[in-house]
Amino acid sequence: MKSVFERIKNGLKKTREKFHQFLKSDNIEELEAALLGADVGVKASSYLIEKIKGKSDKAEILRQEITNLLKTEVAIKEFEKPEVIMIVGVNGSGKTTTIGKIAYQLKNLGEKVLIAASDTYRDAAAPQLKIWAERANVEIVASEKSQDAAAVTYDAIKKAYAKGLDVVLVDTAGRLHTRKDLMEEAKKIKRTITKLKPDAPDEIWLVLDATVGQNGIAQAKIFHQELGITGIIVTKLDGTAKGGVIIPIACELNLPIKYLGIGEGIEDLEVFSAEAFAQALLQD
């Protein structure tokens, strides 16, 4: 069994290569090119370059600075059970897979979890989620007699109250941030949740695909404006050298990063920690 740290390091393999490529060089242009190549973005790259100019212990300075950039203040919220967590994002970003992985983690921590299959848009969505619910060994509520997404969500939360469950994970259909109609559907799901539990959804997490790089930031801003995002999950870090995008995501959105997806398997999800991420990125 690999340690969590080794797993993040492994998941960040391609991004790590970008960082380590030029770390030993004294050439600032090369280092800047590497940071931009890892999708750290112009603003954060310039900031980091200023910090390491003329310094010998670049890796250690970068580690500290990146840790600081990634830290966001998170207010601890009091909430009543069931905690309702709505998951949103563009098509194919990894929402359904991530819900399977979160359900599995929470279940292993002893939580009673229910998944709401509130993606009623795509026919294959509920069967895909049922497989994840089976793997994670948690309950699922899916559409009966072609209910709409809000109706499924309603039934799921009712059930969670009736059975005294701890967490409801609400899967939603992928939507382009530019599609008004679909954004309205997401708002309707949100309103349905609020009807059953005032102040809920307790969390609305946006799933961003790291391979999209900087474009994810523009997506996130619109989702945040429309729905009020409370946290970010970054997926597919294993397949990309653009993992540095986490830095501008955290800085520009000022939202906490919750989890990192580092593979397609049920265990390939890590709870985000700024320290662990920066260390995994820069340690030899």
CB of 126 to Mg ion, least distance (A): 10
**235 makes contact with Mg ion (CB under 5 A):** no
If binding is defined by CB under 5 A, does position 98 make contact with Mg ion? no
Per-residue binding string, ligand GTP, 165-184, x by CB under 6 A, is: ---------x----------
Please report which helix (H) or strand (E) contains residue 260, including its range.
strand 257-261
User: End-to-end distance of the chain based on CA atoms, in angstroms?
Assistant: 20
243 binds, among Mg ion, ligand GTP, none (CB under 5 to 8 A by kind): none
- Work out how close the CB of 161 gets to ligand GTP at its nearest, in angstroms, rounded to a whole number: 26
> Residue type for 200, please?
A
Q: Could you tell which of Mg ion, ligand GTP, none binds residue 58, using a CB distance below 5 to 8 A set by kind?
A: none
Backbone angles phi and psi of 136, in degrees to 5: -85, -10
Size of the site for ligand GTP (CB under 6 A): 21
- Which sign, positive or negative, has the C-alpha torsion 14, 17, 19, 21? negative
User: Does the protein bind Mg ion through residue 97 (CB under 5 A)?
Assistant: no
Q: Which does 219 bind (CB under 5 to 8 A by kind): Mg ion, ligand GTP, none?
A: none
- Distance CA(209)–CA(67), nearest Å, equals 21
- Closest alpha carbon to 207 in 61, 56, 85: 85
**Interaction of residue 67 with Mg ion, rule CB under 5 A:** no
Contact flag: residue 230 with ligand GTP (CB under 6 A) = no
d(CA 237, CA 13): 9
- Span near ligand GTP by CB under 6 A; candidates 15-23, 28-36, 218-226, 259-267: 259-267
The DSSP letter of residue 8 is H
Residue 215 sits at φ, ψ, to 5 deg, of: -60, -25
Beta strand 203-209 pairing with 113-118:
unpaired
Q: Output phi, psi for 204, to 5 deg.
A: -125, 110
Binding of residue 96 to Mg ion (CB under 5 A) = yes
Specify the stretch interacting with ligand GTP by CB under 6 A; choose among 76-84, 90-98, 137-145, 156-164.
90-98
Chosen residue from 37, 82, 94, 243 binding ligand GTP by CB under 6 A: 94
Contacting residues toward ligand GTP, per CB under 6 A: 89, 91-97, 119, 122, 125, 174, 235-236, 238-239, 261-264, 268
